[in-house]
Amino acid sequence: MNELSIDKLKSRFQEKIDNDIKIEPNDWMPDDYRQTLIRQISQHAHSEIVGMLPEGNWITRAPNLRRKAVLLAKVQDEAGHGLYLYSAAETLGADREETIDDLHTGKAKYSSIFNYPTLTWADMGAIGWLVDGAAIMNQVPLCRCSYGPYARAMVRVCKEESFHQRQGFEIMSTLANGSPEQKAMAQDALNRFWWPALMMFGPNDAESKHTEQSMRWKIKRNTNDELRQQFIDVTVPQAAMIGLTIPDKDMQFNEDTGNYIHGPINWDEFWEVVKGNGPCNKDRIDVRRRAKENGEWVREAANAYAEKRARRKSA
Protein backbone atom coordinates (compact mmCIF):
# COMPACT_ATOMS: atom_id res chain seq x y z
CA MET A 1 0.00 0.00 0.00
CA ASN A 2 1.43 3.41 -0.86
CA GLU A 3 2.01 6.30 1.55
CA LEU A 4 -0.85 8.32 0.22
CA SER A 5 -3.52 5.72 0.78
CA ILE A 6 -2.32 5.08 4.35
CA ASP A 7 -2.65 8.76 5.09
CA LYS A 8 -6.09 8.67 3.60
CA LEU A 9 -7.06 5.66 5.70
CA LYS A 10 -5.70 7.36 8.80
CA SER A 11 -7.65 10.51 8.25
CA ARG A 12 -10.81 8.61 7.44
CA PHE A 13 -10.30 6.63 10.65
CA GLN A 14 -9.85 9.75 12.78
CA GLU A 15 -12.87 11.30 11.08
CA LYS A 16 -15.00 8.34 12.17
CA ILE A 17 -13.69 8.69 15.71
CA ASP A 18 -14.40 12.42 15.74
CA ASN A 19 -17.95 11.76 14.55
CA ASP A 20 -18.48 9.09 17.22
CA ILE A 21 -18.84 6.31 14.68
CA LYS A 22 -17.78 3.02 16.26
CA ILE A 23 -14.78 1.15 14.91
CA GLU A 24 -15.63 -2.50 14.23
CA PRO A 25 -13.27 -5.53 14.03
CA ASN A 26 -13.08 -5.60 10.22
CA ASP A 27 -12.56 -1.86 9.81
CA TRP A 28 -9.12 -0.51 9.03
CA MET A 29 -7.35 0.82 12.12
CA PRO A 30 -3.86 2.08 12.85
CA ASP A 31 -1.60 -0.51 14.38
CA ASP A 32 -1.00 1.63 17.49
CA TYR A 33 -4.73 1.84 18.07
CA ARG A 34 -5.03 -1.94 17.83
CA GLN A 35 -2.06 -2.53 20.15
CA THR A 36 -3.30 0.00 22.70
CA LEU A 37 -6.69 -1.67 22.78
CA ILE A 38 -5.26 -5.16 23.02
CA ARG A 39 -3.10 -4.05 25.93
CA GLN A 40 -5.96 -2.32 27.73
CA ILE A 41 -8.64 -4.95 27.11
CA SER A 42 -6.47 -7.91 28.04
CA GLN A 43 -5.23 -6.06 31.13
CA HIS A 44 -8.87 -5.51 32.02
CA ALA A 45 -9.68 -9.19 31.39
CA HIS A 46 -6.78 -10.32 33.59
CA SER A 47 -8.00 -8.00 36.35
CA GLU A 48 -11.41 -9.67 36.30
CA ILE A 49 -9.85 -13.13 36.55
CA VAL A 50 -7.18 -12.37 39.14
CA GLY A 51 -9.86 -10.38 40.95
CA MET A 52 -11.78 -13.62 41.56
CA LEU A 53 -9.06 -14.76 43.97
CA PRO A 54 -9.23 -12.27 46.87
CA GLU A 55 -13.00 -12.68 47.06
CA GLY A 56 -12.91 -16.39 46.31
CA ASN A 57 -10.81 -16.56 49.47
CA TRP A 58 -13.94 -15.97 51.61
CA ILE A 59 -16.62 -18.02 49.85
CA THR A 60 -16.20 -21.09 52.07
CA ARG A 61 -16.18 -18.84 55.16
CA ALA A 62 -19.09 -16.52 54.34
CA PRO A 63 -21.05 -15.85 57.53
CA ASN A 64 -24.49 -16.95 56.33
CA LEU A 65 -26.18 -18.64 53.39
CA ARG A 66 -27.44 -15.45 51.78
CA ARG A 67 -24.00 -13.80 51.84
CA LYS A 68 -22.43 -16.99 50.51
CA ALA A 69 -24.84 -17.08 47.58
CA VAL A 70 -24.37 -13.38 46.77
CA LEU A 71 -20.59 -13.71 46.92
CA LEU A 72 -20.64 -16.79 44.67
CA ALA A 73 -22.85 -14.95 42.20
CA LYS A 74 -20.54 -11.94 42.24
CA VAL A 75 -17.37 -13.94 41.67
CA GLN A 76 -19.14 -15.83 38.89
CA ASP A 77 -19.99 -12.50 37.27
CA GLU A 78 -16.32 -11.50 37.37
CA ALA A 79 -15.40 -14.72 35.54
CA GLY A 80 -18.06 -13.82 32.97
CA HIS A 81 -16.58 -10.34 32.58
CA GLY A 82 -13.20 -11.94 31.96
CA LEU A 83 -14.77 -14.08 29.26
CA TYR A 84 -16.45 -11.16 27.41
CA LEU A 85 -13.22 -9.19 27.59
CA TYR A 86 -10.99 -11.99 26.29
CA SER A 87 -13.49 -12.34 23.44
CA ALA A 88 -13.33 -8.61 22.75
CA ALA A 89 -9.52 -8.84 22.65
CA GLU A 90 -9.82 -11.79 20.26
CA THR A 91 -11.71 -9.60 17.78
CA LEU A 92 -8.45 -7.64 17.51
CA GLY A 93 -6.45 -10.78 16.82
CA ALA A 94 -5.15 -11.46 20.33
CA ASP A 95 -5.20 -15.20 21.09
CA ARG A 96 -6.72 -15.90 24.51
CA GLU A 97 -4.22 -18.51 25.67
CA GLU A 98 -1.25 -16.41 24.55
CA THR A 99 -2.68 -13.40 26.34
CA ILE A 100 -3.02 -15.50 29.49
CA ASP A 101 0.57 -16.70 29.17
CA ASP A 102 1.66 -13.06 29.10
CA LEU A 103 -0.07 -12.62 32.44
CA HIS A 104 1.74 -15.62 33.86
CA THR A 105 5.17 -14.46 32.74
CA GLY A 106 4.56 -11.01 34.19
CA LYS A 107 4.59 -9.35 30.78
CA ALA A 108 0.95 -8.30 31.06
CA LYS A 109 -0.35 -6.37 34.05
CA TYR A 110 -3.62 -6.37 35.94
CA SER A 111 -5.17 -4.01 38.45
CA SER A 112 -2.77 -3.65 41.37
CA ILE A 113 -5.62 -3.65 43.92
CA PHE A 114 -5.86 -7.43 43.70
CA ASN A 115 -2.38 -7.79 45.12
CA TYR A 116 -3.67 -6.90 48.57
CA PRO A 117 -4.84 -9.72 50.86
CA THR A 118 -8.41 -10.20 52.10
CA LEU A 119 -7.93 -10.67 55.82
CA THR A 120 -11.42 -10.45 57.25
CA TRP A 121 -15.03 -10.78 56.13
CA ALA A 122 -15.29 -6.97 56.05
CA ASP A 123 -12.89 -7.01 53.11
CA MET A 124 -15.75 -8.47 51.04
CA GLY A 125 -17.65 -5.31 51.86
CA ALA A 126 -14.71 -3.00 51.20
CA ILE A 127 -13.95 -4.63 47.86
CA GLY A 128 -17.51 -4.45 46.58
CA TRP A 129 -18.02 -0.91 47.79
CA LEU A 130 -14.63 0.60 46.88
CA VAL A 131 -13.09 -1.63 44.23
CA ASP A 132 -16.23 -2.28 42.22
CA GLY A 133 -17.20 1.34 42.90
CA ALA A 134 -13.92 2.53 41.38
CA ALA A 135 -14.32 0.05 38.52
CA ILE A 136 -17.70 1.61 37.70
CA MET A 137 -16.14 5.08 37.54
CA ASN A 138 -13.54 3.75 35.13
CA GLN A 139 -15.92 1.68 33.07
CA VAL A 140 -19.01 3.81 32.60
CA PRO A 141 -17.13 6.11 30.18
CA LEU A 142 -15.78 3.00 28.43
CA CYS A 143 -19.35 2.18 27.38
CA ARG A 144 -18.80 5.01 24.88
CA CYS A 145 -15.35 3.81 23.83
CA SER A 146 -14.66 4.13 20.10
CA TYR A 147 -14.07 0.39 19.66
CA GLY A 148 -17.48 -1.28 19.25
CA PRO A 149 -16.88 -4.72 20.83
CA TYR A 150 -15.21 -3.17 23.90
CA ALA A 151 -17.96 -0.59 24.33
CA ARG A 152 -20.67 -3.24 24.09
CA ALA A 153 -18.89 -5.55 26.54
CA MET A 154 -18.70 -2.64 28.98
CA VAL A 155 -22.45 -2.01 28.80
CA ARG A 156 -23.11 -5.57 30.02
CA VAL A 157 -20.34 -5.41 32.58
CA CYS A 158 -21.41 -2.09 34.10
CA LYS A 159 -24.91 -3.33 34.89
CA GLU A 160 -23.41 -6.11 36.99
CA GLU A 161 -20.77 -3.90 38.58
CA SER A 162 -23.43 -1.70 40.12
CA PHE A 163 -24.98 -4.77 41.78
CA HIS A 164 -21.49 -5.62 43.06
CA GLN A 165 -21.00 -2.14 44.46
CA ARG A 166 -24.37 -2.22 46.21
CA GLN A 167 -23.84 -5.61 47.83
CA GLY A 168 -20.43 -4.44 49.09
CA PHE A 169 -21.85 -1.27 50.56
CA GLU A 170 -24.63 -3.28 52.15
CA ILE A 171 -22.07 -5.56 53.84
CA MET A 172 -20.19 -2.51 55.11
CA SER A 173 -23.27 -0.77 56.38
CA THR A 174 -24.48 -3.92 58.17
CA LEU A 175 -21.09 -4.21 59.87
CA ALA A 176 -20.87 -0.51 60.65
CA ASN A 177 -24.26 -0.75 62.35
CA GLY A 178 -23.41 -4.00 64.12
CA SER A 179 -21.47 -4.92 67.24
CA PRO A 180 -18.29 -3.04 68.25
CA GLU A 181 -16.20 -5.90 66.82
CA GLN A 182 -18.04 -5.68 63.53
CA LYS A 183 -17.68 -1.94 63.34
CA ALA A 184 -13.95 -2.21 64.04
CA MET A 185 -13.67 -4.86 61.33
CA ALA A 186 -15.37 -2.53 58.83
CA GLN A 187 -13.18 0.44 59.73
CA ASP A 188 -10.04 -1.68 59.49
CA ALA A 189 -11.05 -2.87 56.02
CA LEU A 190 -11.70 0.70 54.90
CA ASN A 191 -8.31 1.75 56.29
CA ARG A 192 -6.55 -0.95 54.30
CA PHE A 193 -8.45 -0.60 51.01
CA TRP A 194 -8.97 3.16 50.75
CA TRP A 195 -5.57 4.15 49.39
CA PRO A 196 -5.14 1.17 47.07
CA ALA A 197 -8.63 1.99 45.71
CA LEU A 198 -7.54 5.55 44.89
CA MET A 199 -4.49 4.14 43.15
CA MET A 200 -6.77 2.07 40.88
CA PHE A 201 -7.26 5.15 38.71
CA GLY A 202 -3.58 5.09 37.82
CA PRO A 203 -0.86 7.70 38.15
CA ASN A 204 -1.53 11.45 38.18
CA ASP A 205 -2.30 12.91 34.77
CA ALA A 206 1.16 14.44 34.50
CA GLU A 207 2.73 10.97 34.88
CA SER A 208 0.29 9.05 32.72
CA LYS A 209 1.99 8.20 29.45
CA HIS A 210 -0.97 6.77 27.53
CA THR A 211 -3.72 9.21 28.45
CA GLU A 212 -3.34 11.84 25.75
CA GLN A 213 -3.33 9.53 22.74
CA SER A 214 -6.10 7.36 24.23
CA MET A 215 -8.30 10.41 24.63
CA ARG A 216 -7.72 11.47 21.04
CA TRP A 217 -8.82 7.97 19.98
CA LYS A 218 -11.78 8.10 22.36
CA ILE A 219 -10.65 4.93 24.06
CA LYS A 220 -10.49 7.03 27.18
CA ARG A 221 -12.94 9.85 27.87
CA ASN A 222 -11.67 11.20 31.18
CA THR A 223 -8.26 11.57 32.75
CA ASN A 224 -7.13 9.51 35.74
CA ASP A 225 -7.37 12.46 38.10
CA GLU A 226 -10.87 13.39 36.94
CA LEU A 227 -12.12 9.86 37.55
CA ARG A 228 -10.36 9.64 40.91
CA GLN A 229 -12.01 12.89 41.97
CA GLN A 230 -15.46 11.66 40.91
CA PHE A 231 -14.94 8.50 42.93
CA ILE A 232 -13.87 10.39 46.05
CA ASP A 233 -16.78 12.80 45.79
CA VAL A 234 -19.28 9.95 45.62
CA THR A 235 -17.63 7.76 48.27
CA VAL A 236 -16.79 10.18 51.08
CA PRO A 237 -20.45 10.99 51.86
CA GLN A 238 -21.27 7.25 51.75
CA ALA A 239 -18.66 6.59 54.43
CA ALA A 240 -20.11 9.38 56.55
CA MET A 241 -23.59 7.95 56.09
CA ILE A 242 -22.61 4.66 57.76
CA GLY A 243 -20.35 6.27 60.35
CA LEU A 244 -16.96 5.18 59.01
CA THR A 245 -13.93 7.45 58.81
CA ILE A 246 -11.94 7.95 55.61
CA PRO A 247 -8.30 7.28 56.62
CA ASP A 248 -6.98 10.59 55.25
CA LYS A 249 -6.24 13.22 57.88
CA ASP A 250 -5.45 15.80 55.19
CA MET A 251 -8.72 15.48 53.34
CA GLN A 252 -10.50 18.80 52.87
CA PHE A 253 -13.79 19.86 51.41
CA ASN A 254 -13.54 22.62 48.84
CA GLU A 255 -16.66 24.78 49.25
CA ASP A 256 -16.26 26.42 45.84
CA THR A 257 -15.91 23.33 43.70
CA GLY A 258 -17.80 20.89 45.95
CA ASN A 259 -14.87 18.48 45.76
CA TYR A 260 -13.17 16.55 48.53
CA ILE A 261 -9.44 17.12 48.15
CA HIS A 262 -7.39 14.09 49.19
CA GLY A 263 -3.99 14.09 50.89
CA PRO A 264 -0.82 12.80 49.22
CA ILE A 265 -0.97 9.33 47.66
CA ASN A 266 1.97 7.03 48.30
CA TRP A 267 3.02 6.52 44.69
CA ASP A 268 6.13 4.62 45.74
CA GLU A 269 3.88 1.91 47.10
CA PHE A 270 1.84 1.95 43.88
CA TRP A 271 4.88 1.47 41.65
CA GLU A 272 6.27 -1.26 43.91
CA VAL A 273 3.01 -3.19 43.62
CA VAL A 274 2.88 -2.64 39.85
CA LYS A 275 6.45 -3.94 39.58
CA GLY A 276 5.37 -7.13 41.35
CA ASN A 277 6.36 -6.40 44.94
CA GLY A 278 2.92 -6.13 46.51
CA PRO A 279 1.91 -8.45 49.35
CA CYS A 280 0.15 -10.99 47.08
CA ASN A 281 1.57 -10.55 43.56
CA LYS A 282 3.48 -13.80 43.68
CA ASP A 283 0.63 -15.78 45.21
CA ARG A 284 -1.91 -14.53 42.69
CA ILE A 285 0.21 -15.38 39.66
CA ASP A 286 1.31 -18.71 41.12
CA VAL A 287 -2.32 -19.69 41.67
CA ARG A 288 -3.33 -18.72 38.15
CA ARG A 289 -0.36 -20.51 36.62
CA ARG A 290 -1.06 -23.63 38.65
CA ALA A 291 -4.72 -23.58 37.56
CA LYS A 292 -3.60 -23.49 33.95
CA GLU A 293 -1.02 -26.26 34.44
CA ASN A 294 -3.38 -28.50 36.39
CA GLY A 295 -6.04 -27.95 33.78
CA GLU A 296 -3.88 -28.83 30.82
CA TRP A 297 -4.86 -32.49 30.70
CA VAL A 298 -8.53 -31.48 30.96
CA ARG A 299 -8.30 -29.15 27.98
CA GLU A 300 -6.37 -31.79 26.03
CA ALA A 301 -9.06 -34.35 26.81
CA ALA A 302 -11.80 -32.01 25.63
CA ASN A 303 -9.94 -31.35 22.38
CA ALA A 304 -9.14 -35.01 21.79
CA TYR A 305 -12.75 -35.97 22.38
CA ALA A 306 -14.06 -33.25 20.08
CA GLU A 307 -11.71 -34.43 17.33
CA LYS A 308 -12.75 -38.06 17.76
CA ARG A 309 -16.37 -37.08 17.53
CA ALA A 310 -15.86 -35.03 14.42
CA ARG A 311 -13.98 -37.92 12.83
CA ARG A 312 -16.72 -40.41 13.74
CA LYS A 313 -19.36 -38.11 12.32
CA SER A 314 -17.57 -37.72 9.00
CA ALA A 315 -16.77 -41.46 8.79
Partner 1 sequence: MSSLFEYTLRLGDDSLILGHRLSEWCGHGPVLEEDIAMTNIALDLVGQATSLLNYAGEVEGKERDGDSLAFLRFDREYKNLLLVEQPNGDFAITMVRQFLFDAYRKPLFERMQNSKDTMLASIAEKSLKETRYHLKHSSEWVIRMGDGTEESNRRAQEAVNTLWRYTSELFIIDELESKMADQGISPNLMEIEDDWKKTVDAVFKEATLTIPKNNWKQSGGRNGMHSEHLGYILTELQYMQRAYPNMKW
CA distance 6 to 160: 40
Instruction: Determine the Cα–Cα distance for residues 121 and 110; give it in Å rounded to an integer.
Output: 24
Q: Shortest gap between Cβ of 132 and partner 1 (angstroms)?
A: 17
Residue among 174, 208, 222, 259 that touches partner 1 (CB under 8 A): 174
User: Per-residue b/e over 30-41, b at no fewer than 16 CB within 10 Å?
Assistant: eeebeebbbbbb
Binding Fe ion (rule: CB under 5 A), the pick from 103, 126, 142, 164 is: 164
Instruction: State which of residues 37, 38, 41, 135 lies at the interface with Fe ion (CB under 5 A).
Output: 135
Stretch in the footprint of partner 1 (CB under 8 A) among 16-24, 50-58, 202-210, 241-249? 50-58
Q: Which residues contact 81 (CB under 8 A, 6 or more apart)?
A: 45, 48, 153, 157, 160
Considering only 33, 50, 54, 81, the residue that binds Fe ion (CB under 5 A) is 81
Nearer to Fe ion, 110 or 260 (CB): 110
What end-to-end distance do the CA atoms of the chain give, in Å?
Answer: 46
Q: How far is the CB of 300 from partner 1 (least distance, A)?
A: 5
69-128 binders of partner 1 (CB under 8 A): 69, 72-73, 75-76, 79-80, 82-83, 86, 121
Distances (CA, A) of 52 to 49, 58, 186: 5, 11, 21
Pairwise CA distance, residues 147 & 152, whole Å: 9
Angle between helices 96-105 and 65-90 (to 10 degrees): 110
CA atoms 89, 205, 131, 193: torsion sign: positive
Chosen from partner 1, Fe ion, none, partner binding at 164 (C-beta under 5 to 8 Å by type): Fe ion
- The one of Fe ion, partner 1, none whose footprint includes residue 84, by CB under 5 to 8 A per kind, is none
Q: Which residues bind to partner 1, rule: CB under 8 A?
A: 49, 52-53, 56, 59-69, 72-73, 75-76, 79-80, 82-83, 86, 121, 171, 174-175, 178-179, 181-182, 287, 290-291, 294-302, 304-305, 308
